[in-house]
Amino acid sequence: MKKLTRLNFSTGCLLSLAVLVLVASCQSEKNQLTYQKEAVENALKKADSIPISGLSALAESLPGAAEQDSFFDAYIPSIYMRKGLDSLAAVLPIFEKLRGEEIFAQSIIFEHKGLAHQLSGRFDSAEHYYGRSISIWENTKEYDKYAKALNARAALYNSKGNLDQAMADKFKALEILQNALDKPDDLTAEKKEKLESTMIEIRAFFGGDYFKKKEYQKAVDILQTPTAYYLEKGNIRMAALCLTTAAVAYEELNDLPKAYESCQKSMDLLRPANVQSQLGISLNNYAKLLQREEKWQEALDTLKVAKVIFEKLNNPVALARINFNMGRSQARLGQMKEAEDNFQFAYTLNDQRKDYPLLLHVCNEMVQLNKRKGDFAAALNFQEKANVVSDSIMNGEKEKITKNLEIKYETREKEAQIIALKLEKHLTNQRNGWIAAFLLSLVGAGAWFLRYRHRREKALLEKDLETQRLENEVLLANENLNRQTLENAAHELELHKSQLEEFTALMLEKNTQIEGLQSQFEQIAHPGESNPVRQKALDSDDVDALFQTSLVTEMDWQIFQKHFEKVFPGTLGRLKIQHPELSTAELRLVLLTKMGLKTNEIAALLGISPDSVRKLKYRFKKKMGVSEEELLNSVEE
């Protein structure tokens, strides 16, 4: 009995000791994790106050390799947001030299190299680096890192305009994270929190995707949860990003009060946090809201602050948009010289980047600006540039449609090949089975053969039907492409008609101004009179302009004929071939009549009186035997 008591006592002591050791071990591990996390956070705080050359020594002072990786993974994106692309390019070699041989560090380096190449416009090499990072994380159980790498590549696809591929990467990332969360046995509380945080981050970026798809209400709805989450966690950068995206979505929904509210919240968060890049974006969005309400001076003051920010960050892309918006405000405020300088800056940069949509807006603004200045030659020049940009945009859309159709056709063709290969494999397996059956029993050979032949014929028939179905789909795709081509051609014709009408109106407006100057000149320029007032008028700039300007120049007629030929292709050439006896004035009379102009408008453009136009029409009919309308109809037929 005593022995049993001593044995129970000894066993109890051993169990208690084991529990104490386990608790102490867990507590020690927890303290170690806390210490490592605090070490990384302290290093990030110190990094802001030291030069980039000192980062290597700071990273080496951390407890271990994992902490060094965490430090650089957090510091690299923030250095770009705060100090620009040059700083990002300077930090990467330091991390690569310190940790470049370790596999996890390599995946972080590849991902951030992809970011650097993406931001500098080298999309192909960026996709290569993102792919290498993703392939490394795919073979690990670091699900949050794997999902983040996919999300980073999705941002690249967004920059390339491939929105479907971007959303596919994000959906795949969400699926990976959800599968990881469905296995709670493998997760610690900290790991679970990381996975959930990554899911929230990806959902936040979905708001931007829905905005680009012009599904603005969906964008607003999906951003509410991430915004609340980041505000609760104190993540200023992500909360401000969500609010900024929501602001532009509300603007598109014409809900300006909510747009103002979201934009103001974003700026209130960013100012004390000193996140300059996002603050500049929010200021630009706020200025656009002010412009919609025609508060041009307030918008201009706001844009000047944003310009200072982006000049410090050396961000030319953002500066192009800021200068364009500043030009819009200055033009409305009558500051023509400043507006023209800003528009010219935006035009040059966007022309280099081939950002055609924004370039078209700049050209249109320059047309209106030069009209107000009375510089119609410059207005016509920028109108021609706007037409070229419009054609480039339309051609780009055509190429995109054609490319999508080709991709769909290639995909279906590959699917058909896969189906054929599977069918062939299936038939091969059947044939081998029937040969074995034939060797086992000669008695059933005939029945089995007939059955085999029947199945083979059925399979071939199904293959033919599938091929026919694919051919029908290809024909349908071609029909859709032809219809789209016809619609684009109709759009181009309408565009050329409007250009012809606008150019004609510009010539008439130009003649009206010159005739006004002539009238003033005739009233004041009487021989023999030496009135000082009249003499001052004769010396004015308007009189100089009158003598230096012709009504309608030969260059104007060449541009007019160019636009006319686009709207009525072949008509001018057939007129010259079928009726070479037509004089230049008669030919112009026919073209202006085709435009439906009145007699006094034709007279203004030809530089003669309305009576002279009527005489010209009478002599034309007497010479040709028909009126100009009848002659034109016969040529067109």
Task: Parse the chain into domains and list their residue ranges.
Answer: 568-637
DSSP string, 454-503: HHHHHHHHHHHHHHHHHHHHHHHHHHHHHHHHHHHHHHHHHHHHHHHHHH
Burial per residue of 200-236, b for 16 or more beta-carbon CB atoms within 10 angstroms, e otherwise: bbbbbbbbbbbbeeeebebbbebbeebbebbbeeebb
Question: What fold is seen in the domain 568-637?
Answer: Arc Repressor Mutant, subunit A (1.10.10)
pLDDT over 70 at 542, yes or no: no
pLDDT of residue 376: 82
pLDDT over 70 at 485, yes or no: no
The C-alpha atoms of residue 293 and residue 323 are separated, in whole angstroms, by: 19
pLDDT over 60 at 14, yes or no: no
> Most confidently modeled of 3-7, 101-105, 600-604?
600-604
DSSP string, 148-172: HHHHHHHHHHHHHT-HHHHHHHHHH
Average pLDDT, the chain: 75
pTM of this structure: 0.47
Task: Please give the residue that has the higher pLDDT: either 76 or 144.
Answer: 144
The DSSP code for 186 is G
> Do residues 67 and 32 make contact, with C-beta atoms less than 8 angstroms apart?
no
Identify which of 572, 556, 533 has the alpha carbon closest to the alpha carbon of residue 606. Answer: 556
Contacts of 169 (CB under 8 A, 6+ apart): 150, 151, 153, 154, 157
pLDDT over 80 at 13, yes or no: no
The C-alpha atoms of residue 459 and residue 429 are separated, in whole angstroms, by: 13
pLDDT of residue 518: 55
pLDDT in tens, 492-538: 667 666 766 766 776 677 666 656 655 655 555 554 444 554 454 44
The C-alpha atoms of residue 247 and residue 269 are separated, in whole angstroms, by: 14
pLDDT of residue 182: 81
Contacts of 320 (CB under 8 A, 6+ apart): 345, 346, 349, 350, 353, 355, 358
Find the mean pLDDT for residues 388-415: 63
pLDDT more than 70, % of the chain: 73
